[in-house]
Structure 1
Amino acid sequence: MIRRRSVAALAALLPGVLPALALAQAPQPERLFAEHCAACHGGDRLGAIGPALLPENLGRLKPAEAERIIRHGRPATQMPGFPAETLSDEAVKALAAYVFTPLPAVPPWGMAEIAASRVVHRDPATLPDKPQHQADPLNLFTVVEAGDHHVSILDGDRFTVLDRFQSRFALHGGAKYSPDGRFVYFASRDGWISKYDLHSLGLVAEVRAGVNTRNVAVSTDGRYLMVGNTLPHTLVALDARDLSPVKVIPVTDGKGASSRVSAVYAMPPRNAFVAALKDFKEVWEMPWDDRPVYAGLVHSREPGREEGVALPGPFPVRKLKVDEYVDDFFFDQPYDQLMATSRDGKKGIVVHMDVGRQIAELDLPGMPHLGSGITFTHDGRPVMATPHFKDPVISVIDTVDWKTVKRIPMPGPGFFLRGHENTPYAWADAYMGRDRDLIPIIDTRSLEIVRTLRPAPGKLTAHVEFTRDGRYALVSVMEEDGAIIVYDAATFEEVRRLPMRKPIGKYNVWNKINYSSGTSH
């Protein structure tokens, strides 16, 4: 009682003292970060030997999980834990909140910053001419293991691991290959692009092309990479040989506004990269060849399409106006037309690249994941099929008249769908649903589920990829104590199980470089 009265009396006499004392005793996140985190993650939080610590780069990480990592560290990385005698619970909470606070301004990351970040591990001129292993170089798999930030190179015939190496933090699942299948390129969430040689099984070079990166695409002539960034708002062209920067393309409207990049892909028949934008109702096309490109138009065989003013420099931008903000997109198999989903996830649109405008809408509610769509022929008609994030269906769309052929009921909303030219079956998942351990298998002739597998009861199981001949299907158990499970694609019987650390994606060289109709690109 005496203490309480004394505090009250002090507060009455000196009204500014107690708030000042409380402020002085409260954890100061900027000071804590500078003292304990900046050496690895950079004083500006843009990353150093550790990843960038910005809300855009933390993905699905929750503040509670961030607090746990600060306290206990991250296994199989250089991230240490901070015991209570070093950081109090209040300090840990303050640090976790700080890294989820956006920066006051978009950091500059242009040609100079990109060039200065480049790391050359091996001179490209010293690389061997032939594979230094006995595996079929076109039947290798690149497996991204998110559990401990590693990549495994898997022999697709013997199902043995040829190499396993530490990757940059939080790789985007989609590895990309050079046209001959020799090199594989990775993009990390915090902007690092890595080039790895599948002949000698070693890193060649790395460069940081952005602060937060969506993905990377490879030109089909093997000369260039194009990186799509969400921070800063840029597209970055790199020389594929040594990852030196070629051009930074600001994603702006010329009036002061800018946009994040949703995704960037290569369109082989057009010799061009195509990017979808999150904040502009536009699709951008950027040729990598020497075609003359004009403001708003690309020189084509169509009469009257050559007017306009030529745009200077490499990778000139052709801007196509569309009716929706585009979050995800997919190409028909001839790569003439682009299918895209809107931000609200209630429908899709079709853009004809030669015509240069939107030509149709798609009846695709429930937030379809077009990036995991596949194409095949059904009843003599070309169709595409896509899972949905919110609805437990697979939608099958005719790519001639753009009508919905069927919605196949599924045990839960899915994330991935995969097929192969040499099998009539498409393998799906229930990734977003309650029964996340199921793998439904669809007969593309009847458009019915013919088998449902439960490879690892109670564990998230998804993402199928086939061997180059389509004989085997590889399934991921996406858990810390996960696995790659190999199935006979005809009998659906398990062949082998390889322990892996949260394998979020695996990509077959042959299927990727040949743009298989059954896999994503």
Structure 2
Amino acid sequence: MKQFVLGLAASLLMTAAHAEPTATGDLGLVIERAAGSVLLVDQSDRAALARIEGLGDLSHASLVYSPDERFAYVFGRDGGLTKVDIVTRQIANRVVQAGNAIGGAISDDGTLVAVSNYEPGGVRVFDADTLDLVADIPTGSKTIGLVDAPGRRFVFTMWDTGETWIADFARGTDPQITKITDMGKNPYDALITANGRTYITGLFGQDGLTALDLWADTPEPIRVLPGYGRGQQELPVYKMPHLEGWAHTGAEFILPAVGHHQVLWVDADTLTETGRTQTYGQPVFAMARPDGRQVWVNFAHPLNDTIQVIDTVSKQVIHEFKPGPAVLHMEFTPRGHEVWISVRDANTVMVYDTHSFEKLREIPADSPSGIFFTARAHRTGL
């Protein structure tokens, strides 16, 4: 184990059983992808508080929080669903529910946790308290883009068949399933707006995206930016962009382009293109500061040492810097005065002021990737 990890471990040896309860609103978790652990951090102190181990394969991991911010549900690549108690700083429960999982969501009332799977495919839904299986929804396809929607609903999309399904649990644990076909070729990820109305999936097999109006009685596919790369040479795709890191400034969406060095601007009402910004590399995350004035963008290998900041009024890059090798994820503090950045190959999380761009702190972490603050507990789709 690396020397810095040993040093950090020594400083965090206050065991989970002896940790004193603390308020959760200022806390967050950082995925340590190589070690199968998560690092509990404090935003105000810009410090690590504890390491929680034993979460399995976190090489591609995400998490959601319970409404009271006490529990995190961590979705691992190995199909593991781990319930972490961030007050006692220990694993509360864990099940391995599939062979290869790709993310999950929690229902708006906090009672159901859903996991989308590559192997065997489909979605499995669990009781948030006990992690008992309450519903198994086979789809015959790799399942991606799983989000929560208002009314105890989950929305998800199939890579192989190009369908989106809505699973409605409003009447219990036997869901009503609505199937929407013809979403496009090889959908790879999806997002839902904060009001729960618009669901957008990106397409890997063709240029463009597809949207659904979930307020419609019968949602129908809406083509967004069809052929946006037409006439351009598409580049090799080294890492798929993440629409879950989408930017929404109120009037516009800012979305990463697949196979191009661009972010795309889309009118949030009409879903028509309003502009493009050339970027340093192929965008992975395009994330809006909470006030919507800036969008921070990171990039795919081999240009993943760089971040660009785009002003959403001018649509121009206003700042560029290189935090270090393999910048994987960003997370804003709830009001956006700071951003935390995971730099995997430097084994550190860096904290920056979003107005001055000054680096404020470095926090040692073992191959960090996703950063998740508890404020996510109160936002649809996160």
Residue 48 of structure 2 aligns with an amino acid whose one-letter code is V
- Alignment correspondent of 1:373: 246
Asked if the contact 1:139/1:509 (under 8 Å) is kept, the reply is yes
2:7 alignment counterpart: none
TM-score by length of 2: 0.86
Q: Distance in 1 between matches of 2:32 and 2:253?
A: 29
Query: Shift in Å at residue 337 of structure 1?
Result: 1.9
1:284 is matched with which residue?
Answer: 165
Q: Which of 172, 189, 207 is equivalent to 1:328?
A: 189
Within the alignment, does 1:216 sit opposite 2:97 as a pair? no
Tell me the SS of whatever aligns to 1:180.
coil
Aligned to 1:149: 36
In the other structure, the counterpart of 1:385 is 254
* Partner of residue 20, structure 1: none
2:58: which partner in 1? 170
- Measure the CA separation in 2 of the matches of 1:235 and 1:369: 20
Q: Give the ranges of 4+ consecutive aligned residues of structure 1 lying more than 6 Å apart after TM superposition.
A: none
Paired position in structure 1 for 2:350:
485
RMSD value over aligned CA atoms?
2.3
1:217-251 deviations in whole A, cap 9, x for unaligned?
Answer: 11110111111111112311100001011121221
Change over 3 Å in CA distance of 1:152–1:394 after alignment to 2 = same
1:263 pairs, out of 123, 145, 161, with: 145
Conserved? CA contact 1:286–1:318, under 8 Å: yes
Q: Residues 386-408 of structure 1, C-alpha deviation per residue, up to 9 Å, x if partnerless?
A: 12342111111112111111111
Shift of 1:317: 1.2
Give 1:208's aligned amino acid.
Answer: V
* C-alpha distance after superposition, 1:354-381 (max 9, x if no partner): 232113332444676423211113xxxx
How far apart are residue 204 of structure 1 and its match?
0.6
Match of 1:239 in 2: 127
1:435 aligns with 2:303: yes
Cα gap change, 1:283 to 1:477, in 2 (>3 Å): same
Please tell me whether the aligned partners of residues 246 and 288 of structure 2 are also in contact (alpha carbons under 8 angstroms).
no
Q: Counterpart in 2 of 1:137?
A: 24
Change (3 A) 1:179 1:351: same
Deviation at 1:467, TM superposition (A): 1.4
Summarize the Cα distance change of 1:411–1:267 in structure 2 as closer, same or farther, 3 Å threshold: same
Q: Is the 8 A contact 2:121 2:142 kept in 1?
A: yes
- Identical-residue share of aligned pairs (%): 22
What whole-Å deviation, never above 9, does each CA across 1:107-132 have from its counterpart, x for those lacking one? xxxxxxxxxxxxxxxxxxxx99xx93
Equivalent residue pairs, number: 354
Matches within 5 A, 1:26-425: 132-134=20-22, 136-166=23-53, 167-251=55-139, 258-268=140-150, 270-290=151-171, 314-325=174-185, 326-353=187-214, 354=216, 355-363=218-226, 364-365=228-229, 369-377=242-250, 382-422=251-291, 424-425=293-294
- The answer as to whether partners of 1:186 and 1:194 remain within 8 angstroms in 2 is yes
Structure 2 distance, partners of 1:142, 1:164, is: 9
Contact 2:248 2:292 in 1 (8 A): no
Contact map agreement 1:225 1:240 (CA 8 A) in 2: yes
Which one-letter code corresponds to 1:431 in the other structure? Answer: A
Deviation, 1:286, is: 0.8
Distance 2:200 2:107 in 1: 20
Is the Cα–Cα contact under 8 Å of residues 122 and 137 in structure 2 kept in the other structure? Answer: yes
CA contact (8 A) 1:328 1:370 kept: yes
1:428/1:462 contact within 8 Å kept: no
Matched, 1:474 2:340: yes
Structure with greater strand percent: 2
Q: What letter matches 2:222 in structure 1?
A: I
Q: Which has the higher contact order (CA 8 A, sep 6+)?
A: 2
Counterpart CA distance in 2 for 1:391 and 1:352 is: 27
**Aligned equivalent of 1:446, options 314, 317, 320:** 314
